[in-house]
Structure 1
Amino acid sequence: MAPPGDGVRAVPFRENAHAELSLQDGDREARHRWVCGVSYDGRGFCGWQKQPLQPGLAPSIQTTVERALSAIAGQAIEVRCAGRTDTGVHALEQIIEFSSPVARPPTAWVRGANAHLPDTVAVRWAVPIPADADFDARFSARARTYWYVLIDSPVAPPLWQGRAGWTHRPLDVARMQEAACALLGTHDFSSFRAAECQAATPVRTLEDWTIERHGGFILMRLTANAFLHHMVRNLVGSLVYVGDGRRSVSWLAEVLAARSRSAGAPTFAAGGLYLASVRYEAPWSFPGRGDEPLSLAGLV
């Protein structure tokens, strides 16, 4: 638990009690706004976004975080995020924002919330912003970076189940990097979007896509202004076909030009995907991972 003096006041929670929390009629409009960085292991959750209650359905990360913050505020807290991750997808740093009608110091939100969170979810930092700030965690973001961790080995690695993608075929990283470079820039990524993707346009700008080998691991880092549903996992799935020799280096560009999901390879596993960072323009500057080396060392 957070040490005394941090302004933490815990309130008891019953299962599904979050829906019962509401601001009382006499409560004033929320005056305090916060931006936080959240890390999580996506295993054991149904994804980020809240879902209607269903028997046997795993909890969402959003609901889990909101319950923890609500316990500290003593009031219902709703959060917005920079990017909604799917079931089994992880985050090194998801960005969330919320408003609270009560004042709490940063340490209360961080330590207090973490005391109410499972070991697989953590609030890393909390920064206040003006109540009238023109900021939205999702729409103010200018770029997002995802990592994909991939292992190529004859046998699936038990210790990395749900934490990395796996293929039994050896991969040629040089071929993969050459193919990936052809997709940089602004394109119609229809061939790499999920059938259920609800984005208004399939056009995205892929700023960077690097592939590095670290022993038995391959780390891919992709940065874009935004990503379509399943876009990273579909890109990885097709790139693996190039890396293992089943397709030519030029094939990835051909898939892009086809503008058809059926032209590409199957979607790769969710467990290897990590939301690594979110970039905002001035005046917004958050602690983030920006000064940490982008390497596999950030995960192990």
Structure 2
Amino acid sequence: MRNLVMTVSYDGTQYFGFQSQPGGNTIQDRIEAAIEQLTGERIAITSSGRTDAGVHARAQIINFHTSSLIPLERWAMALNSRLPPDIRIMEARTADPQFHARRSAKRKTYRYTINTNRVPDVFQRHLQFHHPTRLDVEAMRHALRALIGEHDFTTFCSVKSTKPSHVRTIFDAEIVEERESAASSSSGLIHVFVTGNGFLQHMVRIIVGTLMQVGEGKRDPSEMAVILQARNRKLAGPTAMAHGLMLWEVVY
């Protein structure tokens, strides 16, 4: 049997997240149904990680074992013809039998996008969180630096987490501003990139919710280190809306 690895892009707006659920309508459900239509095999795919309802992916990685003899170069086109237009297989490749999309991953990067223009972008509104007033980006950058390194991220984790350990390592975290031009008077877009060895439930969204409070002047940047060390979810900011979040990259 071949172990196939695929890169998947999807707009999560209409779905209940990646992982299969009894109610259906998840990314996993749609991909597995497409595989069954194509090959007749009922296969459970493995992903690099779950994404919540409404969260998107630029490069989610999945793998599965198949006995199908379909040539490798035909898989993406064949599956895409059986998938809805908001889910796309970008490429397919083979891997060693022991490759596992989640356990083999070395680092993941998420991007959260905030639109601070007065009027939201009609065409990108489901991919950006609209915050119609300026944010202090330099203060947000200062606060974000406190999270780099290995820490217990209980403060930035859903209280519903069932993980035995909340210790994770953030390798890199940065904020990139995007404007129409250097002379533009509009605030533009703020992209928050966070790269780590793994993420807890709602972790990036809680980090962003807290950063926005810093940007609004409701918190001092120095508070980020203090609330991180407290390991108390109640001390962090709100969970940012799901639609601004995207799984950006997975490295193996």
Aligned to 2:21: 51
Aligned to 2:88: 122
Aligned to 2:34: 68
Task: Provide the rounded CA distance (Å) in 2 between the counterparts of 1:78 and 1:108.
Answer: 20
Structure 1, unmatched stretches of 5+, are 1-30, 281-300
1:225 counterpart = 2:225: no
Aligned to 1:40: 10
Aligned counterpart in structure 2 of residue 268 of structure 1, from 240, 249, 252: 240
Range with greater deviation from structure 2 (105-114 or 83-92): 105-114
**1:35–1:127 contact (8 Å) kept in structure 2:** yes
Structure 1's consecutive aligned runs of 4 or more residues displaced over 4 angstroms after TM superposition are: none
Return the offset for 1:151.
1.0
- Change in 2 beyond 3 A, CA 1:75/1:134: closer
Task: Provide the rounded CA distance (Å) in 2 between the counterparts of 1:187 and 1:46.
Answer: 30
1:277 counterpart = 2:240: no
**2:117–2:189 contact (8 Å) kept in structure 1:** no
Secondary structure of the corresponding residue to residue 68 of structure 1: helix
Task: Provide the rounded CA distance (Å) in 2 between the counterparts of 1:175 and 1:254.
Answer: 15
**Which one has the largest radius of gyration?**
1
Aligned to 1:101: 67
Give the 5 Å matches for 1:81-160: 81-130=47-96, 133-160=97-124
Cα deviation digits, residues 68-102 of structure 1 (max 9, x gap): 12222122122000011000000001000011122
| Sequence identity percentage | 37
Q: TM-score, normalised by structure 2?
A: 0.93
Secondary structure of the corresponding residue to residue 182 of structure 1: helix
Return the offset for 1:222.
0.5
With a CA cutoff of 8 Å and minimum separation of 6, indicate the structure with the bigger relative contact order: 2
Aligned to 1:175: 139
Task: Provide the rounded CA distance (Å) in 1 between the counterparts of 2:177 and 2:206.
Answer: 20
**1:72–1:108 contact (8 Å) kept in structure 2:** no
Structure 2, unmatched stretches of 5+, are 180-187
Return the offset for 1:153.
3.0
The number of residue pairs the alignment matches comes to: 244
Secondary structure of the corresponding residue to residue 149 of structure 1: strand
**2:5–2:95 contact (8 Å) kept in structure 1:** yes
Aligned to 1:210: 174
